[in-house]
Amino acid sequence: MRKWLRIVLLVGISGVLLAFLLAQMLPHWRSTSSGIVVDVDDPALVERGEYIARTADCMACHTTLGGEEFAGGLPMLTPLGAIYSTNITPDVETGIGSYTFDEFNNAIKHGVRKDGSALYPAMPFPSYQIMPDEDVAAMYAYFMSAVEPVRRANQPSELPPVLNWRWPLAYWQLLFAPKRSFVPETDDPVLTRGQYLVEGPGHCGSCHTGRGIGFQEVALSHSESGEYLSGAIIDGWRAKSLRGEHRGLGTWTTEELVDFFRTGRTDTTAAFGAMAEVIEHSTQYMTGEDLHAMAAYLKTLSPAPGREVTLPAKQNLTTQKLLDGEYDSRGALLYVEYCQVCHRADGKGVPRIFPALAGNSAVYSRYPDSVLQITMGGGRMPDTPHDRMAFSMPAFHMLADEDIAEVVNFIRNSWTNEAAEVTVDDVVAMRHFLSRKPRVGTDLPPHLPVPSTTQGANHE
Candidates 73, 55, 52; CA nearest to 64 is 73
Is 61 among the annotated ligand-binding positions?
yes
CA R_g for the chain: 24
Is 447 among the annotated ligand-binding positions?
no
Residue 7 to residue 25: CA distance in whole angstroms: 27
Is 343 among the annotated ligand-binding positions?
yes
Q: How far is CA 130 from CA 55, 134, 216, 221, 390, in A?
A: 14, 12, 17, 11, 34
Is 339 among the annotated ligand-binding positions?
yes
Is 341 within 8 Å of 323 (Cβ atoms)?
A: no
Query: Cα dihedral angle (270, 189, 205, 411), rounded to 10 degrees?
Result: 30
Angle at 163 between CA 157 and CA 166, to 5 degrees: 70
Is 222 among the annotated ligand-binding positions?
no
Q: How far is CA 39 from CA 149, 228, 261, 328, in A?
A: 18, 37, 32, 69
Is 62 among the annotated ligand-binding positions?
yes
Name every residue whose Cβ is closer than 8 Å to that of residue 182 and which is 6 or more positions away in sequence. Answer: 130, 196, 199, 200
Residue 430 to residue 440: CA distance in whole angstroms: 18
Torsion sign across C-alpha atoms 356, 303, 207, 165: positive
Is 204 among the annotated ligand-binding positions?
yes
Binding residues for heme c: 58, 61-62, 204, 207-208, 339, 342-343
Give the residue ranges of the annotated binding site.
58, 61-62, 204, 207-208, 339, 342-343
